Amino acid sequence: MSRKKMEIGRVWLESIYATIFILLFMALLQEGTKHVNLEGFDAIGQALADLEITDYTFSELRDTVPPDTNIVIVNFGPLGRDGIAEQIRIIDKYNPKVIGVDSFFKGYGSDTLSTYSLASAITNANAEVVLVTRVEQSDSLKEKVEGDDEIYDLWYKSDSMFIQNVHFGMANLDTQAEFQEDIKICRAFPAQRSSITDGESYIAFGAKMAVLYDSTKLENYMKRTNEYEVINFRGDIFLSPFFYNEAYGTFVERRMEDKYMRYEALDWDQVLSEDFAPEMVEGKIVLFGYLGNQLGATQWEDKFFTPLNSKIAGRANPDMYGPVIHANIISMVLNNDYINGFNSYIEALIGIGLLYINVFFFSIIYIRMGAWYDGITKLIQIVEIIALTIFVILIFSTYNFKLELAIAFFGIALVGDLLEIYYGVIKNVVNKKTWNKLITLGVKKG
């Protein structure tokens, strides 16, 4: 069918067919590239692959928030079980309200006495103690559920001697990493999970500490019913402006930005020497975990990439330790400062709706302004993508509302060229007159 002969009154119907074609093409393209390694051919794509538009808001646009003085993070550093036990006993005598321990303890290790000492410090603490648990899928369950990642039958915990008189919180973070050595980018966490084996259910580690600290926060947390909560990152830990560099044997000035320093931290030796004011931990949430062999040392173990990374694209080094991510979760729950958004079905409908609008107007341009089609549609696509990007960033930074419009962005980027393919190829292929001509031509030649 020629452009001139197509009736404008039928454009709305043709636009539906064209939209379906584009959606099918996008689905096939996504599925087809899942198992294709393009790293060597797309350096820019790799640099931007893990970037989300809202990362820019976290790293550049958000207003400075005050430090959260309800939380103190204690570094394990290089300590063994006896040292961690002593840390917990020292902190506990200054009456914190909640103690969280971001570590698993399995077996007796190399020193039985140290193991009993740590178990005693944990189970006999006066504060409410929260230990971590992790949800996993057994191999047999993976085969049954066929890729459903949200059904679990295994709970990984510390050994029984450590878990008497304690609470549990789920330490899983959403990083999309399949293996421990993979790059771990953390933006969200599973809010609550249950086991299909014994019916056990736990909320997130950070959320558990928050609701033990302030029980009024539990109702708001449970009302949200999200499978995953996006973390509203407030910042990192306070650090001394200087740290000791072992390689050079001297103190080195630390580069840091004050607007990202939001949580007080104590190094392992500060706790053991009791070099802190009692009021720093009294009545607070004290979270124990690994923050490097010394606070501020350049180490990558248990460290993640987050939206606060100073390089929002092509990140070079991870920027935040696991315990600090949990502290950000605690702070978000305590302040009821959640990031909201539509569910995936509504987001898909919005994306498809925006795609259809583009198809409709591009179809009119294709019919009425054929010679101008390529130039005009390319200009519209550029302006539209820029405008939509700015809109998503403004909505996120102003209202803490995250719009996931992947379908819209992807569709808008492809709609101009794919629409030409639809009208120039697909429509002709399915046109009865075209088939009749091909059949007739075939019969004549035969």
Convert the pLDDT of each residue in 201-241 to its tens digit: 899 999 999 999 999 999 999 999 899 999 999 888 876 54
pLDDT for the residue 136:
82
369 Cβ neighbours under 8 A, 6+ residues apart? 376
Using only C-alpha atoms, what is the Rg of the chain?
28
Verify that 107 and 172 share a domain, yes or no: yes
pLDDT for the residue 294:
87
Verify that 145 and 239 share a domain, yes or no: yes
Verify that 112 and 33 share a domain, yes or no: no
Bridge-based pairing of strands 242-245 and 236-237 is: unpaired
H-only helix segments in 335-343? none
Contact assessment for residue 124 and residue 312, using Cβ atoms and an 8 Å cutoff:
no
State which of 282, 307, 334 marks the end of a domain.
334
Work out whether the CA dihedral 72, 260, 325, 216 comes out positive or negative.
positive
Question: What is the crossing angle of helices 373-399 and 344-368, to 10°?
Answer: 150
In a domain, 64, yes or no: no
Q: What is the DSSP letter of 339?
A: P
Of residues 105 and 4, which shows the higher confidence score? Answer: 105
Give residue 284's domain range.
Answer: 69-334
Identify the three-state secondary structure at position 195. Answer: strand
Verify that 32 and 162 share a domain, yes or no: no
Verify that 393 and 289 share a domain, yes or no: no
Verify that 54 and 116 share a domain, yes or no: no
Work out whether the CA dihedral 388, 389, 394, 400 comes out positive or negative.
positive
Number of helices (H) and strands (E) in the chain: give both, helices first: 15, 16
Of the chain, the end-to-end C-alpha distance in Å amounts to: 27
In the predicted structure, residue 93 carries a pLDDT above the cut 60: yes
State which of 334, 366, 385 marks the end of a domain.
334
Verify that 78 and 119 share a domain, yes or no: yes
Verify that 220 and 121 share a domain, yes or no: yes
pLDDT for the residue 312:
57
Domain count, the chain: 2
| Confidence band of 129 (pLDDT split at 50, 70, 90) | very high
| Confidence band of 256 (pLDDT split at 50, 70, 90) | very low
State which of 287, 306, 334 marks the end of a domain.
334
Q: What is the DSSP letter of 293?
A: S
In a domain, 173, yes or no: yes
In a domain, 347, yes or no: yes
Identify the three-state secondary structure at position 251. Answer: strand
Verify that 133 and 276 share a domain, yes or no: yes
pLDDT for the residue 88:
98
Task: Tell me the pTM.
Answer: 0.84
The upper half-sphere exposure of residue 168, i.e. CA atoms within 13 Å in the direction of its Cβ, equals 21
In a domain, 314, yes or no: yes
pLDDT for the residue 54:
77
Q: Lowest mean pLDDT of 81-95, 187-201, 409-423, 432-446, name the range.
A: 432-446
Contact assessment for residue 307 and residue 59, using Cβ atoms and an 8 Å cutoff:
yes
Verify that 278 and 156 share a domain, yes or no: yes
How many CB atoms neighbour CB 361 within 10 A? 15
pLDDT for the residue 436:
53
In a domain, 63, yes or no: no
In the predicted structure, residue 442 carries a pLDDT above the cut 60: no
Nearest residue to 334 (alpha-carbon basis) of 215, 226, 199, 180: 215
In a domain, 1, yes or no: no
Give pLDDT tens digits for 358-385: 999 999 998 888 788 999 999 999 999 9
Of residues 177 and 411, which shows the higher confidence score? Answer: 411
109 Cβ neighbours under 8 A, 6+ residues apart? 80, 81, 115
Verify that 35 and 161 share a domain, yes or no: no
In a domain, 132, yes or no: yes
In a domain, 425, yes or no: yes
pLDDT for the residue 362:
94
> How large is the average pLDDT for residues 133-140?
80
Verify that 209 and 130 share a domain, yes or no: yes
